[in-house]
Structure 1
Amino acid sequence: MRLIISTVSHNHSDMIVNMDSLRQAADVADVHVICRDNAPQEELKGYCQQNGVTYIANTSKKGFSANNNLNFLHYLSTLEPQSDDYFLLLNPDVQITPQALENLRQFIGLSGKEIVAGNLYLDVDEHVEDDNIRHFPKLWSFISAYAMNNRSTVIRKADIRDVQSPLWASGALIAVKASVYQQLGGLDEKYYMYCEDIDFCYRAHKAGYQVAFSEETKAVHWRQRASRKLLSRYFVWHLSSALRFCFARKKVRSKRSKIYQVDNLKSI
């Protein structure tokens, strides 16, 4: 089983180099790392080229969905896709170890699950959980989360085995069987940033796939939470994405992806 790691840098060169997770991941057998640079930086290019990481520089800036879909198309065209490959979305601000990647691979091998979320923390001591596993939101959930810090959609990881309703997982660390990612058309590129992971998990749920949680796939998420700053461009992106999801969920659309725009695309 191969893991194809997809990372997108938005001026994250210093963070990626200092964490060194991509080099460590690339050293693991049957792990291929693709790093797309949305705002090309020479330091990141040199780091990737020296450490066995595939480096791709964009000629124009793109959103989270488009960038990861482009990485998936690069995988399809250059890495001779295999039926048991998994495509792993990994944020540039997530610090993961080779052991965590092996734990993920073992979990997939034992469970056979097509979509697997990692166990994210906000500190290296693993005292503070990242809220990366949640119930699907409604519009009021988004509004109350900002206005009143409503955490009603958050699922405590200790209780996750008792959750009966479908859930979604953050795209900061989520592995998807490559054939399923292709079947679902990848991420919807109408979402420039934020909520594309909610949309993807919702479409996966409608297609009969459920998100599984791998407790031992532990990583640290050094998140910035820029979307919490009112009237910032990140806040506007988050708000527009939330509105898009809440008003479009009853008419799920998955064709807005470069994966559907490539002629003669072979199925995995």
Structure 2
Amino acid sequence: MNARTAVVTGGASGIGAATVARFLDDGWTVVAADLNDASGERLLAEHDGAAKDGRLLFARCDVAEEEDIQAAIDAAVGAGGHLDCLVNNAGVGGAFGPVTEISVEDWDYTFAVLSRAVFLGIKHAARVMRGQPDGGSIVNVASIAALAGDAGPQSYSAAKASVLHMSRVFATELGPDRIRVNCVCPGVIATPLNPAASEEFEGSPLAAIQPLPYVGRPEHLAGAIAFLAGPDSTFITGQYLAVDGGVEAAGPRLGSILGTDPRSVGLVGVNRGSTGRKATVHRKVTP
């Protein structure tokens, strides 16, 4: 069988470019679909050998336009004869501001790029994959903003929540065709889309909310996407994987903020509630 073939939307920068690089390292043929021609040219130059060998193609693609999505997928099938994975990664920051001030046009633009594009990608990838004996894998890039009400701008969060739920909805529909649909939810990742991500973790605002003590990089997402794209995840579908340094697991950290976490003042023991038995409390002994 020929090398596995993938389409990565938003593939010319950030998480998309890192995913393209990972796929190429793993021997895949990749179509990087992106709206930015200059970024596409830089990507081809960076992977000159793969481009000359025909393992890397660039397709100019407005992911909100159905014809562009279909053309990118057709390019992958033309290059490899099949489509093993689609990564719906392309994104924008989208509309922001008070809900009373956001324009309908800006809201619709945000959903066109972040939500409709994912639907279009799944639609056209599924048309190809359902005719393949092994189906295929679709990986959608959502965000931890999909999991909470204050982890991103309103329109971005709502659109990413739809991406997460589409992953479940279409995993259910397409499972009988051996098409797996999963989702990754990045946390704070240092990409061009997120210039506020600090290069230095220590002392940054991120340090107050993220358990792992280092900045998230596009390569961290690329590894998770490669796992969900490949053979080691063939019995996983309809799931999301938070690649966030533990931010979701840590939650709102109310104990630290409100001062109700005994660890913050060095106390150890057990609270027995309303059982009528006294709590046991002592100072922490170990450093």
Q: Which has the higher contact order (CA 8 A, sep 6+)?
A: 1
**What is the TM-score normalised by the length of structure 2?**
0.32
**What is the TM-score normalised by the length of structure 1?**
0.34
Greater percentage in strand: 1
Greater percentage in helix: 2
